[in-house]
Chains A and B, each alone.
Chain A
Amino acid sequence: MTGPESGRLHLAVALDGAGWHPAAWREPDARPAELLSASYWTDLVIEAERGGLDFVTFEDGLSLQSADPQRRDGRTDQVRGRLDAVLIAARVAPLTRHIGLVPTVVVTHTEPFHLSKAIATLDWVSSGRAGVRVRVSARPDEAAHFGRRELPAGPDARADLFAEAADYVEVLRRLWDSWEDDAEIRDVATGRFIDRDKLHYIDFSGRWFSVRGPSITPRSPQGQPVVAALAHATVPYRLVAGSADVGFVTPHDRAQARDIVAEIRRLQGSAGRTAQPVHVFGDLLVWLDRERGRAAERKARLDELAGAEYHSDALSFAGTPAELADLLQDWQQAGLTGFRLRPATIPHDLAQITRALVPELRHRSSFPEKYAVSTLRGLLGLVRPVSRYASAS
Chain B
Amino acid sequence: MTRPVKPVHLAAHFPGVNNTTVWSDPRAGSHIEFGSFAHFARTAERAKFDFLFLAEGLRLREQHGKIYDLDVVGRPDTFTILAAIAAVTDHLGVAGTINSTFNEPYEVARQFASLDHLSGGRAAWNVVTSWDAFTGENFRRGGFLPQSQRYERARTFLHTTWQLFDSWHGGEIAADKASGEFLADPDAGRFRHHDAHFDIEGHFDVPRSPQGRPVIFQAGDSEEGREFAAADADAIFSRHSTLTAGQDFYADAKRRLAKYGRSADELLILPAATFVLADTDAQAAELAHDVRLQQVSGPTAIALLEQLWNRDLSGYDPDGPLPEIDPVLGENTTARGRASVRMHRDPMATAREWRARAAAKNLSIRELIIEVTGRQSFVGSPATIAATINDYVQADASDGYILVPHITPGGLDEFADKVVPLLQERGVFRVDYTGTTLREHLGLPPRREAHPAAARPAARARTTADGTRAAS
Is B323 interfacial (CB 8 A cutoff)?
no
* Contact status A193-B69, CB under 8 Å: yes
Residues of A within 8 A of B182 (CB): 25, 32, 76-80
Q: Given the complex of chains A and B, what is the CA–CA distance between A195 and B74 in angstroms?
A: 12
Residues of A within 8 A of B111 (CB): 84, 87
Known: A64-B205, A76-B186, A110-B107. A208 touches B140 (CB 8 A): yes
Which of A212-220, A290-298, A381-389 touches B?
A212-220
* Contact status B205-A81, CB under 8 Å: yes
Residues of B within 8 A of A93 (CB): 84, 87
Is A179 interfacial (CB 8 A cutoff)?
yes
Give the Cβ gap from B25 to chain A, nearest Cβ, in Å. 9
The A-contacting residues of B in range 174-188, CB under 8 angstroms, are 175, 177, 180-188
Known: A94-B88, A147-B200, A208-B140. A190 touches B205 (CB 8 A): no
Residues of B within 8 A of A184 (CB): 73-74
* Contact status A148-B104, CB under 8 Å: yes
Which of A112-120, A234-242, A319-327 touches B?
A112-120
Contact of A87 among B74, B115, B137, B168 (CB under 8 A): B115
Q: Given the complex of chains A and B, what is the CA–CA distance between A62 and B32 in angstroms?
A: 29
Give the Cβ gap from A72 to chain B, nearest Cβ, in Å. 6
Q: Digitize B133-176: 1 where CB-to-A-CB distance is under 8 Å, 0 elsewhere.
A: 00001111000000000000000000000000000100011010
Contact of A124 among B34, B188, B297 (CB under 8 A): B34
Chain A, interface size: which category?
A: 35 or more
Q: Given the complex of chains A and B, what is the CA–CA distance between A72 and B201 in angstroms?
A: 13
Contact of B84 among A23, A84, A125 (CB under 8 A): A125
Chain B, interface size: which category?
A: 35 or more
Is A50 interfacial (CB 8 A cutoff)?
no
Is B324 interfacial (CB 8 A cutoff)?
no
Contact of B83 among A33, A87, A148 (CB under 8 A): A87
The A-contacting residues of B in range 237-274, CB under 8 angstroms, are none
* Contact status A84-B139, CB under 8 Å: no
Contact of B81 among A65, A90, A145, A146 (CB under 8 A): A90
Is B114 interfacial (CB 8 A cutoff)?
yes
Q: Given the complex of chains A and B, what is the CA–CA distance between A218 and B76 in angstroms?
A: 8
- In the complex, what residue of chain B is closest to A199 when comparing beta carbons? B67
Which of B1-9, B52-60, B383-391, B434-442 touches A?
B52-60
* Contact status A144-B58, CB under 8 Å: no
Known: A91-B84, A91-B86. A196 touches B74 (CB 8 A): no
Is B422 interfacial (CB 8 A cutoff)?
no
Known: A113-B139, A124-B76, A196-B69. A216 touches B58 (CB 8 A): yes
Q: Digitize B180-204: 1 where CB-to-A-CB distance is under 8 Å, 0 elsewhere.
A: 1111111111000000001111110
Can you list 9 A-B contacts with CB-CB less than 8 angstroms, sorted by A residue number? A76-B181, A79-B182, A81-B207, A83-B114, A90-B83, A109-B104, A194-B69, A213-B138, A216-B75
